């Protein structure tokens, strides 16, 4: 019969299965209720009525479902014709796990809905909820992983300059990109060390993998180890209980750029050396090493050999990092390369701000060349952007530069209001000898730090925030200026 009329047999099975399925669900559930197309209760079993505090189930028949079950979604199921397979419904202090299904006639028209309470307590769903929490944690970790997998923004073409010293930097960067050995970049602040690191990564076989940059000086010493090597779940108080992935693991397969490596604490230097030698790390709270494949590029603006003599930097780590050294010239060492850099910066400013394109007159270029540029490219960019804001001239002259950069090359800095005690060191009588740029800049920086502390109630964190620098950098500037903060 089945072979002769499969369609008819299937219909018979369906009609027999539906009542038995309903009975099975009603028996296994903690409660069952059905409503008509108008949202009135047409049936409720004794178990559900008892759970709701109704002594006689018949007393609920004909009532609006929301009057009996305040948070019911059965009426929405009737309207939409779509089931709600698994939901958590609150009923007083209870949280019920429920499922809801539309009821249809032979024509497929929705004529009502039925709801089942499968659990009257969430503890019976703990295994399912635990698995859901685990999957959510993995998804969040994957999102963080993808967000941190930054591709480099700069290429070797971004390093502007065609002087012999600049061309040598580019030559060495191309050579470095062919190999996986560690690289040490030396140069003053603002000379483009991270730019070169990104360019090397982009030219290497690791270019499709992450480039992860870390400023060692910007991270508190107590957090550096966790930042570098990660933690297992619940490693110690204050760390994400789910654990975290360190920068080494984030950079796996790619490049890890360690800026200001000279400021790394000695204790962490030993662990970094092991990671470089063994290509494995040990997350905090774990006794099992984890293999990683990371190419390290380190950078510093301090004399590491002097720090070795002072006992502040490990000689073995220095030799491990200094396989290939690339020294980046300061702006004053670039010769005619300064003009090319200034022109590139002016083009970038025009594209970014929408201001008209500007060019420098020969006299303005000469004025820039007489400046000592302690801040290197960052300072040059600051000066040129300020000039572009102060004048509408398309051809920038020495006069246009005057407000931001005096012709004699000394740095002109804004003076704090006279009411501030910080202004005193900046006052220079007309008959007094003109100070050197370094002395003038040091006096201005000290005054600025003093004022930031005064305005912040001597709170270092607030003062650093006002100046737009990291707390670690602020403390270093304080030490250099011979100042101290209260907290």
Q: What is the pLDDT, as a whole number, of residue 396?
A: 92
The mean per-residue pLDDT over the stretch 229-254 comes to 75
Structure tokens given for 372: 């000592």
Residue 428 pLDDT grade (very low, low, confident, very high; cuts 50, 70, 90): very low
Report whether pLDDT(127) > 60: yes
- Alpha helices in 123-244, H assignment, sequence order: 126-148, 164-177, 193-203, 221-229
State the Cα torsion 427-431-437-443 to the nearest 10°. Answer: -20
- pLDDT tens figures, 386-406: 898 888 889 999 888 887 774
Report whether pLDDT(317) > 70: yes
Report whether pLDDT(308) > 90: yes
Structure tokens given for 299: 């950078």
Structure tokens given for 480: 């250099």
Q: What is the pLDDT, as a whole number, of residue 77?
A: 93
The mean per-residue pLDDT over the stretch 26-37 comes to 83
Residue 349: phi and psi, rounded to 5, are: -60, -45
Residue 430 pLDDT grade (very low, low, confident, very high; cuts 50, 70, 90): very low
Report whether pLDDT(78) > 70: yes
Report whether pLDDT(252) > 80: yes
Q: Which SS3 state, helix, strand or coil, does residue 451 take?
A: helix
The mean per-residue pLDDT over the stretch 439-465 comes to 81
Report whether pLDDT(422) > 90: no
Distances (CA, A) of 157 to 44, 227, 314, 369: 76, 32, 35, 23
Report whether pLDDT(332) > 80: yes
CB of 242 closer than 8 Å to CB of 295: no
Q: Which single residue is written with the structure tokens 């010769």?
A: 335
Distance between CA atoms of residues 416 and 427, nearest Å: 11
The percent of residues in the chain predicted with pLDDT above 70, rounded, is 78
DSSP H or E run through 215 = strand 211-215
Region for 3 from its dihedrals, namely left if φ exceeds 0, alpha if ψ lies in -120 to 50, beta otherwise? alpha
Report whether pLDDT(24) > 90: no
263 closest CA partner among 181, 199, 189:
189
Stretch among 6-10, 279-283, 414-418 having the lowest mean pLDDT: 414-418
Residue 425 pLDDT grade (very low, low, confident, very high; cuts 50, 70, 90): very low
CB of 376 closer than 8 Å to CB of 188: yes
Higher model confidence: residue 14 or residue 200? 200
Query: Per this entry, what is the length of the chain?
Result: 487
* Domains in the chain, CATH or no CATH each: 14-120 (3.30.450.20), 151-329 (3.40.50.300), 334-401 (1.10.8.60), 421-481 (no CATH)
The mean per-residue pLDDT over the stretch 41-57 comes to 89
CB of 100 closer than 8 Å to CB of 73: yes
299 closest CA partner among 274, 325, 280:
325
The mean per-residue pLDDT over the stretch 446-468 comes to 83
Arithmetic mean of pLDDT over the chain: 80
The mean per-residue pLDDT over the stretch 76-88 comes to 88
Q: What is the pLDDT, as a whole number, of residue 184?
A: 95
Report whether pLDDT(265) > 50: yes
Region for 374 from its dihedrals, namely left if φ exceeds 0, alpha if ψ lies in -120 to 50, beta otherwise? alpha
**What is the SS3 assignment for 406-432?**
CCCCCCCCCCCCCCCHHHHHHCCCCCC
Q: What is the pLDDT, as a whole number, of residue 47?
A: 86
């Amino acid at each position: 019969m089945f072979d002769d009329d499969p369609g008819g047999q299937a219909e018979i099975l369906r009609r027999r299965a539906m009542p038995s399925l309903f009975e099975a669900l009603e028996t296994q559930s903690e409660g069952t209720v059905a409503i008509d197309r108008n949202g009135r209760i047409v049936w409720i079993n004794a178990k559900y009525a008892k759970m709701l505090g109704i002594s006689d189930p018949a007393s609920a028949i004909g009532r609006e479902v929301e009057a009996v079950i305040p948070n019911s979604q059965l009426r929405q199921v009737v309207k939409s014709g779509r089931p709600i397979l698994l939901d958590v419904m609150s009923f007083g202090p209870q949280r019920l796990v429920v499922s809801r299904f539309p009821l249809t006639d032979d024509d497929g028209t929705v004529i009502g809905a039925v709801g089942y309470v499968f659990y009257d307590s969430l503890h019976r769903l703990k295994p399912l909820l635990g698995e859901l929490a685990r999957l959510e944690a993995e998804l969040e970790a994957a999102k963080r992983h993808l967000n941190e997998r930054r591709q480099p923004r700069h290429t070797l073409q971004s390093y502007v300059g065609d002087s012999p010293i600049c061309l040598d930097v580019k030559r060495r960067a191309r050579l470095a990109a062919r190999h996986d050995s560690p690289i040490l970049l030396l140069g003053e602040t603002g000379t483009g060390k991270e730019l070169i690191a990104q360019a090397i990564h982009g030219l290497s076989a690791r270019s499709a993998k992450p480039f992860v940059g870390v400023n060692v000086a910007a991270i508190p010493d107590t957090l550096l180890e966790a930042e570098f090597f990660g933690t297992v779940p619940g490693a110690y108080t204050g760390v994400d209980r789910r654990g975290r992935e360190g920068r080494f693991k984030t950079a796996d397969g790619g490049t890890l750029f360690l800026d200001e490596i000279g400021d790394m604490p000695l204790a962490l230097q030993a662990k970094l050396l092991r990671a470089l030698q063994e290509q494995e790390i040990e997350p905090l709270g774990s006794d099992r090493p984890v293999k990683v494949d990371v190419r390290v590029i380190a950078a510093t603006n301090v004399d590491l050999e002097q720090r070795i003599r002072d006992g502040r930097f490990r000689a073995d780590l220095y030799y491990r990092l200094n396989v290939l050294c690339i020294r980046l010239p300061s702006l004053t060492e670039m010769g005619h390369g300064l003009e090319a850099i200034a022109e590139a910066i002016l083009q970038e400013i025009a594209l970014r701000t929408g201001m008209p394109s500007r060019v420098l007159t020969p006299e303005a270029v000469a004025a820039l060349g007489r400046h000592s540029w302690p801040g290197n490219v960052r300072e040059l960019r600051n000066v040129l952007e300020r000039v572009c804001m102060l004048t509408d001239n398309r051809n920038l002259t020495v006069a246009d530069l005057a407000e931001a950069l005096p012709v004699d090359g000394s740095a002109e800095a804004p003076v704090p209001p006279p009411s501030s005690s910080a202004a005193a060191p900046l006052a220079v009588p007309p008959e007094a000898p003109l100070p050197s740029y370094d002395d003038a800049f040091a006096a201005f920086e000290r005054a600025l730090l003093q004022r930031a502390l005064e305005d912040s109630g001597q709170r270092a964190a607030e003062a650093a925030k006002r100046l737009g620098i990291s707390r670690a950098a602020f403390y270093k500037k304080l030490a250099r200026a011979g100042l101290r903060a209260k907290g």
